[in-house]
Structures are given as C-alpha cells and as structure tokens.
C-alpha cells in the first residue's frame, strides 16, 4: 500500500529572513507576555473590586438588622418570616438573589435556593464572611456567605442567622471580554509594527553586508580597485575598513605579480629570440658535420652525433618557448580556412618522416574550418609524444561529429601513470623521474592544449589497455 511521506518544510537560511523572524518572534513573545500580565492584573483588580463592593454591601445590610436574633433575652420575641424576608429583600437587587437561613426558616429573594449554595461555602460561612465563584445555569456568580453575630456579655455571639447573596458577574465578564479583544487587536498591531520595523532594520543592517558581498564579487572578477565608503564607528564600519585594507594589499600584490610575470615573459621571449640566431648558425654547422660523421673515427663520430641531438633538442626548446611566449603575450591568432583533415595529417607525418610509423584512419572527404599551421602543431605534438614515449602501433583517427571535429591519437605503450594524468598538459611536466633528460622540452602537450583552446575546443587524455589515448575536439567555426 502506498504511503505519502510528508515533505519537510525548508528552514529559512537567509540572514535577512532569520533577522526578521527573530525580531518578530521577540515582538510576539513580548506582546503575549505584556498582554497576559495586563489581562491577569486587570482581571484580579476587577474581581477584587467586585468582591470588596459585595462584601461591603452584605456587611452593611446585615449590620442594620434591628430585630432580636440568636439567644433571646427577656422580653425579646423570635423573628418572623416577614422580618427575614425584609432582610433578604434589602440584600437583593437587579439580577441579584439573596437567601436568609435562620434555624428551620429560609427567606429568599430571587430564583436561587439553598441547593445552589456550595456545601463548602455553607460550612465556612459559620466562621466569617466568605466568597466563592460558581457557574449556575451557564452564568458566573459571586456568592457571598456570612453569619450574623450579636454582642453578648462574653463577646460576639453567633446568632445562627446566615445570609447568602448571589452577585451576577456578567458585567465583569463583558468587561474582561472587551479587554481581551482590545489586547488581541493591540497585540496584532504591535506585531505588524514590529514586522515592518524588522524589515526596515534588516534592510539597514544587511545593506553594508550586501555592499561587501558585491565588492567581494567585483574583486573576484578582477576589479582590484574596488573600495567601499566607511560610515560610522560600529563593527560593520570596522569590517568595511578591513576589507578596504585587504583589497589594497591584494591589488598591490597582484600588481607586483603581474609585473614580475610580464618581466618573466619578456625575458623568455627575448632569450628565445636571441638564441635563435646562434642556433641557426649551429644548425648549419651541424648539418655539415652530419655529412662528415660517417667518415670520422668512431669516438669523434659519437661526439658529433651527441652534439647534433642536443642542438636539435635546443632548437625544439627554443621554438616551443617562442610559441609559448606568443600565447602568454596574447598575440596568438587564428587564420581559419577550409582544411582537408586527412591530407593535413598526412602532410604533418611526411614532413617529419613519420609516415611509416603511424597509421591514419580518416576519410578523404573530411574537411573542417581550421588554422592549418596550428592544427599541424597539435597533430605533431601528440604524435611525437606517442612515438617518443609509447610503443607502436601509433594510430591517428579523425571523424566528424554532430557539432565539430574529433581527432584521436593512441599508442600501445605502457601508458602514463594514473597519478600523472592530471598534469600531462602542464608546462615542463615529464611523467616519471627517468624522463627528466629524455628528448623533448616538456612543452609539447601544453602547446597542443593552447592551440586547441585557441580554436575553442577541448583536449583530454585517458589510459587504455595498453597505451594512452589523447582526444581532441574542435568545434565548427
């Protein structure tokens, strides 16, 4: 049988909502507390006033009895029912009932009878003037009971005459109901006022916080000259001042770092270009030596070959540094044109004499809008990396996707360690300590990624069994 699971009510998480709710709760609690205390005080005062007035009335009327009661003295006659009725009539009034009990006689004025007198009150009335509230026929009454005492030779003597007066409290209840209504409306108005004050206060309190948030966002977006005006001497003003100090320090640090970075880039570019001229001369001499190496003795021939390899490595490093400096300076641009992808890959391999080492899977009719020279760099770096650090067969495949061109380069070597995969596109990174002196500058994959990103594409690497697979995606431009 399916069961409905009640969804949890989300708690307010915003600082503004929490401030308003807290402020409102405090106002509601204070209003309830004040209203409750005020109501109880008014209720007590009203009941006390009613009881005092009732006791004074009963005491005054009973003290005015002028016929003999209690222990009769010589010449005194027992009271008649008419006299008792007269006393009851004097104690009664509009809505008020009175009962006079004297021995076996009971005189009454009003609808009440002795059965309406509580037993507890009846017993306590023998000792003093007492009161008790009781609901009779859905109406609240204050019942006053008292026994009349008469001065005797040994002091006050009980006469046995007891009076019970029923005072209706509907006027008091109406006053209390009116008071409850007034307090309820007053409390509602106070809560509404508190809510408005809470909203205004929260807005006033959170305005500096929102300004700080906007300023922090501006700093995060690179606007390091962002500052905030400082108003007042409170905690928020202190926080704003510290934010301004931190922003100023950050701007100074970033400015220094940018200056150092620009100097570093300029140094690398200058050194690379300065090395190019002597390197060209060295390359020309190396070409002459390579032709003569076969005719030299073994030891000089090995030295010549070593020099040739190092010159080639130095030439590649300088070319890569010059290319990286273009990207760092932001001067790298795209010259797009329709390119036959299969022909471009074949040309890349033929120029570098890799045709017999690499298998190409690409349709002859596959074309894409690319920068041919930068696409050549991407393919050359990926294939060169596979040939240097992997094992054959090295396979290059290209295909058109729904929204771009996908090129994959895979080798079948032992692969790149998993812990090195996140760093293969970092500059000068070489997987494994044993590759520190291997051929290559450590910049090839970084340059490949920069060229891919310049096209608006992506490049990724993942291990295969065996080998490593690089995937390049270039969008339609």
Which string of DSSP letters, residue by residue, matches 419-437? Answer: GGGGGTTSTT--SSGGGTT
Rg (CA), the chain: 53
* 393 in Cβ contact with 412 (< 8 Å): yes
What pLDDT is stored for residue 433 in this prediction? 45
Q: Is 470 exposed, middle or buried (0-12, 13-18, 19+ CB in 10 A)?
A: buried
Q: What is the pLDDT of residues 281-317, one digit of tens each?
A: 777 776 676 666 666 777 777 777 777 777 777 777 7
Query: Residue 385, SS3?
Result: helix
**Looking at residue 441, what is its pLDDT?**
63
CATH of the domain at 354: 3.30.565.10
Q: Which residues of 167-202 are buried (b: 16+ CB within 10 A; e: fewer)?
A: bbbeebeeebeebeeebeeebeebbeebbeebeeeb
User: Quick one: tokens of 363?
Assistant: 């349709």
User: Poorest-confidence range of 174-183, 329-338, 340-349, 454-463?
Assistant: 329-338
**Is there a single domain that holds both residue 38 and residue 171?**
yes
| Whether 156 and 20 share a structural domain | yes
pLDDT at 261 over 60: yes
- Give the model's pLDDT for residue 268: 62
Q: Quickly list H helices, 295-434.
A: 298-329, 341-351, 372-389
- Could you tell me the residue range of the domain that residue 45 belongs to? 15-69+78-176
Task: Indicate whether 454 belongs to any domain.
Answer: yes
Q: Is the pTM of this model over 0.85?
A: no
Long-range contacts from 447-450, C-beta under 8 angstroms, 24+ separation: 447/320, 447/323, 447/324, 447/327, 447/377, 447/381, 448/377, 448/378, 448/381, 448/382, 448/472, 449/425, 450/324, 450/327, 450/332
Task: Judge if 47 and 148 occupy the same domain.
Answer: yes
pLDDT of residue 437: 46
Measured CA to CA in angstroms, residue 68 lies from 71, 78, 225 at distances of 8, 7, 106
Report the candidate in 472, 444, 467 with the shortest Cα–Cα distance to residue 393: 467
430 falls within a domain: yes
Tens digit of pLDDT for each residue in 380-422? 999 998 998 888 899 999 999 888 999 999 999 888 888 888 8
Note whether 63 and 85 are within 8 A (CB).
Answer: no
Q: Which residue has the higher pLDDT, 438 or 184?
A: 184
Pair 271, 367 in one domain = no
Residue 182 has pLDDT above 80, yes or no: yes
pLDDT for residue 220: 82
Q: Is residue 187 part of a domain?
A: no
Tell me, yes or no, whether 321 and 342 share the same domain.
no
* Within a domain: 213: no
pLDDT for 1 beyond 60? no
Q: pLDDT band for position 332 (50/70/90)? A: confident
Q: For residues 447 and 425, give the distance between their C-alpha atoms in angstroms, rounded to a whole number.
A: 8
Distance CA 21, CA 27 (A): 10
390 & 440 share domain: yes
What is the per-residue pLDDT for 13? 58
Final residue of a structural domain among 274, 308, 331: 331
Q: Is residue 199 part of a domain?
A: no
Residues 343 and 465 in one domain: yes
Does residue 272 lie in a domain region?
yes
Long-range contacts at 382-385 (CB < 8 A, ≥ 24 apart): 382/409, 382/445, 382/448, 382/470, 382/472, 383/348, 383/349, 383/354, 383/358, 383/409, 384/352, 384/354, 384/440, 384/444, 385/440, 385/444, 385/445, 385/470
Q: At 53, which CATH number?
A: 3.30.450.20
Please choose, from the candidates 350, 442, 426, the residue with its C-alpha nearest in 3D space to the C-alpha of residue 389: 442
Averaged pLDDT score across all residues of the chain:
82
**158 and 42 together in one domain:** yes
| Highest mean pLDDT (candidates 48-62, 223-237, 261-275, 312-326) | 48-62
Kindly report which listed range (19-33, 113-127, 448-462) carries the lowest average pLDDT score. 19-33
Q: Which of 331, 361, 395 is the last residue of a domain?
A: 331
Q: What's the total number of domains in the chain?
A: 3
Given this model, what pLDDT does residue 440 score? 57
What is the greatest pairwise CA distance in the chain? 174
Residue 438, in any domain of the structure:
yes
31 CB contacts (<8 Å, ≥6 apart)? 186, 187, 190, 191, 194
Distance (Å, whole) CA 153 – CA 130: 26
Is 80 exceeded by the pLDDT of residue 152?
Answer: no
CB 170 within 8 A of CB 96: no
pLDDT band at 5 (very low <50, low <70, confident <90, very high): low
Q: Are residue 93 and residue 116 in the same domain, yes or no? A: yes
Residue 434, pLDDT score: 44
- Min mean pLDDT across 141-145, 409-413, 422-426, 439-443 is at 439-443
What's 98-153 look like in SS3? EEEEECCEEEEECCCCHHHCCHHHHHHCCCCCEEEEEEECCEEEEEEEEEEEEEEC
Query: Which is higher by pLDDT, 322 or 17?
Result: 17
Q: Give Cβ neighbours of residue 211 (< 8 Å, ≥ 6 apart).
A: 228, 240
Contact between 173 and 140 (Cβ < 8 Å): yes
Q: Is residue 209 part of a domain?
A: no
- The mean pLDDT of 450-466, rounded to a whole number, is 90
Distance, CA of 387 to CA of 395 (rounded, Å)? 10
Most confident of 6-10, 166-170, 261-265: 166-170
Count the Cβ atoms, other than its own, within 10 Å of residue 325.
21
Same domain, 320 and 356: no
Q: What angle do CA 276, 425, 448 make, to 5 degrees?
A: 55
Mean pLDDT of the 99-118 span: 89
Give pLDDT, residue 19. Answer: 76
Same-domain pairing of 116 and 42 = yes
Last residue of a domain, which of 176, 210, 235?
176
Give the CATH number of the domain where residue 323 resides.
1.10.287.130
**Pair 376, 234 in one domain:** no
């Amino acid at each position: 049988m399916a069961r409905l699971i009640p969804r949890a009510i989300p708690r307010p998480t915003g600082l503004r909502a929490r401030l308003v709710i807290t402020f409102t709760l405090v106002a509601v609690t204070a209003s309830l507390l004040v209203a409750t205390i005020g109501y109880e005080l008014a209720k007590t005062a009203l009941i006390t006033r009613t009881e005092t007035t009732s006791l004074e009335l009963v005491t005054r009327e009973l003290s005015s009895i002028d016929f003999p009661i209690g222990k009769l003295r010589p010449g005194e006659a027992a009271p008649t029912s008419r006299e008792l009725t007269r006393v009851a009539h004097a104690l009664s009034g509009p809505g008020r009932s009175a009962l006079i009990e004297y021995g076996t006689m009971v005189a009454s004025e009003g609808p009440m009878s002795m059965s309406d007198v509580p037993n507890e009150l009846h017993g306590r009335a023998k000792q003093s003037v007492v009161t008790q509230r009781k609901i009779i026929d859905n109406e609240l009454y204050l019942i006053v009971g008292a026994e009349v005492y008469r001065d005797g030779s040994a002091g006050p003597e009980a006469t046995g005459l007891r009076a019970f007066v029923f005072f209706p409290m509907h006027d008091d209840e109406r006053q209390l109901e009116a008071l409850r209504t007034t307090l309820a409306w007053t409390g509602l108005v106070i809560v509404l006022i508190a809510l408005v004050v809470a909203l205004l206060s929260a807005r006033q309190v959170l305005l500096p916080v929102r300004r700080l948030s906007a300023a922090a966002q501006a700093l995060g977006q690179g606007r390091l000259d962002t500052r905030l005006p400082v108003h007042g001497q409170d905690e928020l003003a202190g926080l704003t001042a510290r934010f301004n100090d931190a922003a100023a320090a950050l701007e100074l640090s970033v400015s220094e770092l940018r200056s150092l970075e620009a100097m570093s880039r300029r140094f690398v570019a200058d050194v690379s270009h300065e090395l190019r001229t002597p390197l060209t001369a060295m390359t020309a001499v190396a070409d002459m030596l390579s032709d003569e190496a076969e005719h030299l003795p073994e030891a000089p021939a090995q030295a010549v070959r070593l020099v040739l390899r190092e010159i080639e490595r130095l030439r590649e490093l300088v070319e890569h540094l010059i290319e990286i400096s273009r990207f760092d300076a932001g001067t790298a641009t795209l010259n797009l044109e329709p390119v036959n992808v299969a022909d471009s890959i074949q040309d890349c391999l033929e120029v570098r004499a890799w045709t017999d080492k690499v298998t190409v899977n690409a349709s002859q009719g596959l074309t894409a809008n690319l920068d041919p020279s930068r696409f050549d760099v991407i393919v050359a770096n990926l294939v060169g990396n596979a040939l240097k650090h992997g094992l054959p067969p090295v396979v290059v495949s290209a295909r058109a996707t729904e929204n771009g061109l996908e090129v994959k380069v895979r080798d079948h070597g032992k692969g790149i360690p998993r812990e090195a995969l996140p760093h293969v596109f970092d500059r000068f990174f070489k997987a494994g300590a044993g590759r520190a002196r291997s051929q290559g500058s450590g910049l090839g994959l970084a340059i490949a990624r920069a060229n891919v990103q310049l096209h608006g594409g992506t490049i990724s690497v993942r291990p295969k069994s065996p080998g490593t697979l690089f995937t390049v995606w270039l969008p339609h431009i």
